[in-house]
Amino acid sequence: MAEDRSLDEFAGAADADRDDGHGDRSDADTAPESGEQSETDAEPVTATATWTADGADCDRCGEPISRRWRDGDALVCADCKDWSG
């Protein structure tokens, strides 16, 4: 049977595998080039649909439904969703 080992033992090996031979890199080395967005410049992501096992009411017609789609600020059923764009 194999000996139990801590995951911490493997962390050092993974870091060594990533070493490119240039030592520590400064933030300037990892900054996005002009025209690229950094992670902090990205807009927040909004889900386009939700699913609820117990169901939730459509914000327009009030029918309980498991899957609702975002239509503006509302979460609506497929029948109430404006699919034109």
Over the chain (85 residues), the average pLDDT of each successive run of 10 is: 73 59 54 62 88 95 96 95 88
Tell me if 40 is assigned to some domain. Answer: no
Total count of domains within the chain: 1
Q: Are 50 and 75 in contact (CB under 8 A)?
A: yes
Question: Residue 50: what pLDDT?
Answer: 94
* Domain assignment of residue 71, given as a range: 47-80
Q: Does 33 reside within a domain?
A: no
How confident is the model at residue 4, as a pLDDT? 78
Domain membership of residue 53 (yes or no) is: yes
pTM of this prediction? 0.48
Q: pLDDT at position 67, please? A: 97
pLDDT at 41: 80
Query: Residue 30: its pLDDT value, please?
Result: 58
| Tokens 């503006």 belong to residue | 72
Cα distance between residue 14 and residue 17, in whole Å:
5
In a domain, 54, yes or no: yes
Predicted confidence at residue 28, as pLDDT, reads 53
Q: What is the CA radius of gyration of the chain?
A: 24
